[in-house]
Chains A and B, each alone.
Chain A
């Protein structure tokens, strides 16, 4: 078996070494290469799932889901992991997009950016990048 292993080892001898460079060891985070623009009401339609959470909130929230309806209602869920055990926290309310940004009903304006199929919400405590998902 060792000979097989050695042969397999030597088989690619004629090709370039396959050692991973130290700079490439880390798992690359999914970079969202999109052109962000100010969000429009039409961008808030459908189910969105977070792909990245940054800032202080990231230490306590593992994932965020939002569903925005064109009627002006929304519902959201966040997997809060800062407590004893992870638990989903849910929200239901009405959303409105004004000159100050997105209002989720708590009076705290949220800076909202968008791209095709993407939303980016920035608030005190962090930034969340959301990708639109199909409801299957």
Chain B
């Protein structure tokens, strides 16, 4: 107990000594302590002024805030306008779509009404027809029953044959009104032409649709196998002029040659050859072949005399317009048409014409020696089919 008390006294005394010592020391050294803060002489060594930087940042932030305050209303207005415009466009589009849908609905309702009315009318007509048919059947059944009864009575009579008036069974014509069908629109399906059938010939695939005698087809004249000419008579010497420069196409059904045939045959007027160069030159002058280069025949009708489809032979008269030196005249030429082994159509024919009909004066000298006005023109053509034609006859 004494020890504890002694320690307390000692502690207090020590503390007092420490306080007193410190006060004495402070009083001694207080005037000798000097705190000096100096800036470096070189600004580079001085470094940034943090306060200034902080101040500048604050100023910048304030400026941005000020700009933001200014722009914010504008942006808000823009966003508002945009939203309003979008709403308006969407509204317009929706209204348009709604109007279209209403129009389609109205159309569909109209069609539905029309279809319903048509269906109702068709059903009514069908019922009427069935009713009339049932009535007719009943009448027919009654007549059959009456006749059966009469037949039975006749059978029972057996010995005595009594003429029985048999009621004729009158079958009334039942008028079946055609039912008006409701049109159904079906999208057109593009026609797919089947590939023409082919057959083989020496390993080649040949189209089936070759030459047919009984089909309207186009024929092309084969110049190398054709000739057109004329026979002329003169006072002292008869001669022939001929050319193979012939071209043309014909359209005809050989089995029905009178059924709207047509065609055109043309020869090179300057190519007619009589065998004498001087005579040919004179002939070309008469024909004015330098200007009127072609002599043509436009075939328009045919009068068949005989048509043999088995032998593939046609005889008749071809009619059309013959044009020489630009002058057109009617021409009727009896012809024979045949088909050769190579399925080419041969056409042979001749007719007489007069030079003066075409404005050509027959050459004459001293009134004694001359070429006759009348010539015989002739054709010997071979034509190859180009296939059937589908044109309207």
A57 CB-CB contact with B under 8 Å: yes
Checking B227, B240, B285, B286 against A27 with a beta-carbon cut-off of 8 angstroms, the contacting residue is B227
Q: Are B201 and A125 in contact (CB under 8 A)?
A: yes
The answer on a CB contact under 8 Å between B210 and A104 is: no
The answer to whether B51 has its CB under 8 Å from any CB of chain A is no
Query: CB within 8 Å of A: which of B8-27?
Result: none
Is B234 part of the contact surface with A, judged by Cβ < 8 Å? yes
CB distance from B214 to the nearest CB of A (A): 14
C-alpha spacing A3/B344, complex, angstroms: 44
Taking the closest CB of chain B, its distance from the CB of A126, in whole angstroms, is 6
Interface residues in A1-53 (C-beta closer than 8 Å to B): 1-13, 15, 17-20, 22, 25-27, 29, 52-53
Total interface residues on A, using CB and 8 Å? 55
Chain A contacts for B283, CB-based, 8 A? 5
A80 CB-CB contact with B under 8 Å = yes
CB <8 Å contact, A60 and B242: no
Asked if B203 contacts A80 (CB within 8 A), the reply is no
| Contact A126-B201, Cβ < 8 Å, known A20-B240, A20-B242, A29-B225 | yes
Task: Tell whether B346 is near chain A: CB-to-CB under 8 Å.
Answer: yes
Q: In the complex, which residues of chain B have a beta carbon less than 8 angstroms from the beta carbon of A104?
A: 202-203
Residue A61 at the B interface, CB < 8 A?
yes
Q: Are A8 and B279 in contact (CB under 8 A)?
A: yes
Complex Cα–Cα for A55 and B274 (A)? 36
Would you call A56 an interface residue if the criterion is a C-beta within 8 Å of the partner chain's C-beta atoms?
yes
Interface residues of B in 173-231 (CB under 8 A from A): 196, 199-207, 209-211, 224-227, 229, 231
Which A residue's beta carbon lies closest to that of B209?
A82
Contact with B along A91-120 (1 / 0, CB 8 A): 101000000000011101010000000000
CB pair A83–B204 under 8 Å, yes or no, is no
Tell me, in angstroms, the Cα distance from A60 to B196 when the chains sit together.
13
B365 pairs with A3, CB closer than 8 A = yes
Give the residue among A60, A91, A106 with the most B Cβ atoms within 10 A.
Answer: A60
Q: Which residue of B lies closest to A128 (CB)?
A: B202
Taken together as a complex, chains A and B put the C-alpha atoms of A2 and B348 apart, in Å, by 32
Produce 1/0 per residue, B337-363, CB < 8 A to A. Answer: 000011110101010000000000001
Is B244 in the interface zone, CB < 8 Å from A?
A: yes
Contact (A17, B278) CB under 8 Å given A56-B343, A60-B207, A123-B201: no
Q: B225 contacts which chain A residues (CB < 8 A)?
A: 27, 29
Q: Contact: B202 with A27, CB < 8 Å? A: no
Q: How many A-B residue pairs have CB under 8 A?
A: 165
**What residue of chain B has the Cβ atom nearest to residue A3's Cβ?**
B365
Closest to B199 in A: A125
Query: Within 8 Å of chain A (Cβ to Cβ): is B384?
Result: yes
Q: Per a CB cutoff under 8 Å, which of A2, A58, A78 touches B341?
A: A58
Partner pick for B200 among A6, A9, A55, A106, CB 8 A cutoff: A106
Alpha-carbon distance between A18 and B285 when the two chains are bound, in angstroms: 21
Which residues of B (351-387) have their CB < 8 Å from a CB of A?
Answer: 363-365, 369-371, 378, 380, 382, 384-387
Whether A5 lies near B204 (C-beta < 8 A) is no
For the complex formed, measure the closest distance between the CB of A68 and the CB atoms of chain B, giving whole angstroms: 12
- Chain A contacts for B211, CB-based, 8 A: 56, 58-59
In the complex, what residues of B have CB within 8 A of residue A125's CB? 199-201, 206
Give the most central of A6, A27, A59, A82: most B CB within 10 Å: A59
* Residue ID in chain A nearest B344 by CB atoms: A58
Identity of the chain A residue whose Cβ is nearest the Cβ of B280 in the assembled complex? A8
In Å, the complex CA distance between A124 and B200 comes to 8
Query: Closest A-chain residue to B282, C-beta based?
Result: A5
Closest to B237 in A: A13
A11 to B341, CA, bound (A): 43
Distance in angstroms between the alpha carbons of A59 and B278 in the assembled complex: 42
B170, CB-defined interface residue at 8 Å = no
Q: Which residues of B contact A1 (CB under 8 A)?
A: 282, 285
A123 touches B202 (CB 8 A): yes
Residues of B within 8 A of A (CB): 196, 199-207, 209-211, 224-227, 229, 231, 234-240, 242, 244, 274-276, 278-279, 281-283, 285-286, 341-344, 346, 348, 350, 363-365, 369-371, 378, 380, 382, 384-387
Q: A25-B378, A58-B211, A83-B196 are in contact. List 15 more A-B contacts (CB 8 A).
A: A9-B371, A10-B234, A13-B237, A17-B238, A18-B240, A20-B240, A26-B227, A55-B341, A57-B206, A59-B211, A59-B385, A62-B384, A81-B386, A83-B207, A93-B203
A-B contact pairs, 11 of them (CB 8 A): A6-B282, A9-B237, A10-B234, A18-B274, A20-B231, A57-B202, A58-B343, A60-B206, A80-B207, A82-B209, A123-B201
